[in-house]
Amino acid sequence: MNRSLCRKCGYCPIIGARRSIGMFAVLGILASALSSPAGEAEKAANKAAPKPKNKIITIATLGPRPISVDPQTPPQKIVDRIIAHWNARFAQVLPDKPDLIVVPEACDRPAGLSQEQCTEYYRVRGNQVQSSFAKTARENSCYVVYSAVREMPDGTWRNSCILLDRSGQTAGTYNKNFPTIGEMDRKIRAGRDAPIVECDFGRVAFAICFDLNFDELRNRYAQSRPDLIVFTSMYHGGLMQSYWAYSCRSHFVGAVAGLPCEIRNPLGEVMASSTNYFDFVTQKVNLDCALAHLDYNWERLRKLKTKYGPQVSIHDPGCLGSVLITSEHPSVTARDMIAEFEIEVLDDYLPRARRYREKPENRE
């Protein structure tokens, strides 16, 4: 959608717009601001400046359906099949050299077993599948999410996401905060904590399946503002995925068994998705970004684009009133740019509007 004028100031500073909905990606580049080459002194300063933590990462998400097994199959043979299954699946995305691989909830739970048989299988499985995932992480220098049901020493169970780091060590563990009633009847206890795990590319939070329905967990993440939310599931969640991404100002990656696996930006837009032909997808994601409302920022955004040109993206999804500012600069972060031009971010603007409303002269 081309827009050359706005009602506020007669000028639209939004330079680039990119939309990716479902399987389809549409790139639109609108040239509506002048850009001037940086001076030699500025170029030299930028070249000499230290580079911030790399926030451009490649994410792989996979959503195969659980494998089916004959209930008479010995548990160790099931474990061996599960490990071979995931090694083959990982081989589909490893050529893209991902920084992070995400798999669905209870990724090593096969179909076809009774509850008693599944419990016996889990006890034989132990840490074998996790160790195989750790080997993949270590050999490919990437983070891997291992999502599984685990037995605790007291005989209770947890539905967990374990984040393995590039050396295969456990970087953090999240226990599903809101198991279903059926899960709790099977002694799966609700987790208490919502840890934010520090990775070498940013801060990562987790949600599992039924969690997506509960504001208590979402509000905790909305306060802590992780760079990325990892969602492993048997349930897609529909519009809730976009709502979580936007309300938490976070990128969002979902790995859903048998359903679309999608990567969303902090505006809630789908950047990449698996398809009916391929149940996996990889995507480069730039986590160096921030949301700003257009109100009171039009001229500042124009000046930002004029100075940094292609080294900054100002993406307007349309209809929302907020834009996503992403730095493509090797040493100047999105937050640096926002501070330089005194752009009011969304998380400052909305509270200011709320405070303004509370003034006696503005209330009925």
Residue with tokens 């295969």: 168
CATH class of 56-286: alpha beta
First to last CA, the chain: 39
DSSP state of 259: S
Q: Are 81 and 126 in contact (CB under 8 A)?
A: no
Q: Are 257 and 275 in contact (CB under 8 A)?
A: no
Mean pLDDT for 96-115 is 98
**Residue 78: pLDDT over 70:** yes
CA distance 86 to 316: 38
* 54: confidence class by pLDDT, cuts 50, 70, 90: confident
pLDDT at 24: 33
Size of the chain, expressed as the number of residues it contains: 364
pLDDT-above-90 percentage for the chain? 85
Q: Which amino acid is at 332?
A: V
Residue with tokens 């500012």: 325
**Residue 101: pLDDT over 60:** yes
pLDDT-above-70 percentage for the chain? 85
Q: Are 204 and 228 in contact (CB under 8 A)?
A: yes
What is the model's pTM? Answer: 0.85
* 53: confidence class by pLDDT, cuts 50, 70, 90: low
Q: Which of 75, 134, 138, 135 is nearest to 110 (CA)?
A: 75
**Residue 274: pLDDT over 60:** yes
CA distance 79 to 135: 16
Residue 94 burial (CB count, 10 A): 17
| Segments making up each domain of the chain, as ranges | 1-19+288-364, 56-286
The per-residue pLDDT for range 123-171, each reduced to its tens digit, is 999 999 999 999 999 999 999 999 999 999 999 999 999 999 999 999 9
The per-residue pLDDT for range 165-197, each reduced to its tens digit, is 999 999 999 999 999 999 999 999 999 999 999
Estimate to the nearest angstrom the gap between the alpha carbon of 330 and the chain centroid.
22
| Angle 73-78-84 from CA coordinates, rounded to 5° | 140
The per-residue pLDDT for range 197-212, each reduced to its tens digit, is 999 999 999 999 999 9
The per-residue pLDDT for range 288-334, each reduced to its tens digit, is 999 999 999 999 999 999 999 999 999 999 999 999 999 999 999 99
Q: Which of 318, 253, 228 is nearest to 12 (CA)?
A: 318
Q: Which of 12-26, 227-241, 253-267 is predicted with the least confidence, judged by mean pLDDT?
A: 12-26
